[in-house]
Amino acid sequence: MESVAASTRCADASVTLSDFHFDLPPELIAQVPAERRDQARLLVLDRQSHELTHTHVHALAEQLRAGDLLVLNDTKVIPARLFGRTPTGGGVEVLLIRPMGYAEGLAEAAWLCLGRPAKRLRVGTQITFPENVRATLTAVHGNGQYGIAFEDPATVQALIERHGEIPLPPYIRRPDGPLPLDRTRYQTVFARVPGAIAAPTAGLHFTDKLLAALPGNGVEVARLTLHVGPGTFLPVRSENLSEHVMTAEWCDIPDSTAARIRRVKRAGGRVIAVGTTTTRALESAASEHDVVVSGSRWAERFIVPGHQFRVVDGLFTNFHLPGSTLLLLVSAFAGRECILATYAEAIRRGYRFYSYGDAMLIQ
């Protein structure tokens, strides 16, 4: 497994994982998206006054200010879940995470992946996928992660496109596989760079119409790319937050985006991150002088209470699951007690949670 930067954090030692648990009725975990992306409900939280405003995503522009800069993550989810067979006929499931290198495109031989069942996956195991595409398991990295090498790299992209399945999170129940709507709705309208194995879900709420309306309200839009991987969604298993190692994720911040952030900051405007992945990318790229450094890097920042935000002034995000790294991040931004109180009110009002759920604007 290639070497990447270890996760870094500035944790408040007084808080533990148990401090971020709450009772979430299972029926509030959204199984399908709103009929139209921007019809989802929007809860606006003022993190200074703790005042709450209840509206809908299509009214987002009314909640922002002229001079704000909205930053989107334009990664594209690849249908990376594949099903194959071992020489003895046993079925295996492989979720391709990323090529071991970052050459142009997806046609590479060596990949990092998640796989199951573990009892069938040992170094040297040969796997045959549809269209007789063959691969060999080359490494066992632990935590369900493996190295896999395809016999012919030129077959990989076609295999993904023709036979890959959209890797929906397990809390979206699809016993018979993804629905046709998942192919489009579990993808943002501005997705551009293939490489994610999970959607930057806050971005799922945006429509072309909503994005086109923002400049008329004086709100600029910029983009970056962070390929969402296991680091975002793997659970925290240690009560002591400092023991959790969050897998780094590859990101790229264009020169133009970094320049616009600097200009907006100098003018007294706000940087509004669309999603926790955008937040991680920006905060991981912040220099000691609060300047975003452009370029490609591993986003290694594990954001927990105690983190000092240098770039992000506002956060548009979904509602997250108890004890998740995502809940830790929003709690770092707005305060644990404030977020848990807001979530309690959201539950009382029937807001829908997680990938296909409703949204929050924290400012």
The one-letter amino acid code at 135 reads A
Using CA atoms, how far apart are residues 105 and 97, in angstroms rounded to an integer?
14
Beta bridge partners of residue 14, listed in sequence order:
none
| Contact criterion met (CB below 8 Å) for 354 and 319 | yes
Question: In this structure, what token pair is assigned to residue 90?
Answer: 């046993």
pTM: 0.91
Q: Characterize 246-280 residue by residue with b for buried, 16 or more Cβ atoms within 10 angstroms of its Cβ, and e for exposed.
A: bbbbbbbbeeebbebbeebbeeebbbbbbbbbbbb
Looking at residue 142, its pLDDT comes to 84
| Contact criterion met (CB below 8 Å) for 239 and 219 | no
Looking at residue 149, its pLDDT comes to 95
Identify the helix (H) or strand (E) that includes residue 207. Answer: none
| Contact criterion met (CB below 8 Å) for 109 and 219 | no
Using CA atoms, how far apart are residues 363 and 45, in angstroms rounded to an integer?
6
Identify the helix (H) or strand (E) that includes residue 255. Answer: helix 255-266
| 3-state secondary structure at position 119 | helix
Identify the helix (H) or strand (E) that includes residue 81. Answer: strand 81-85
Which residues touch 191 (CB under 8 Å, ≥6 apart)? 74, 75, 76, 77
Looking at residue 12, its pLDDT comes to 54
Question: Which pLDDT tens digits describe the chain residue by residue (363 residues)?
Answer: 333 333 444 445 577 888 999 999 999 999 999 999 999 999 999 999 999 999 999 999 999 999 999 999 999 999 999 999 999 999 999 999 988 876 445 668 899 999 999 889 999 999 999 999 999 999 999 888 999 999 999 999 999 999 999 999 989 999 888 999 999 999 999 999 999 999 999 999 999 999 999 999 999 999 999 999 887 777 777 787 777 777 789 999 999 999 999 999 999 999 999 999 999 999 999 987 768 999 999 888 889 999 999 999 999 999 999 999 999 999 999 999 999 999 999 999 999 999 999 999 999
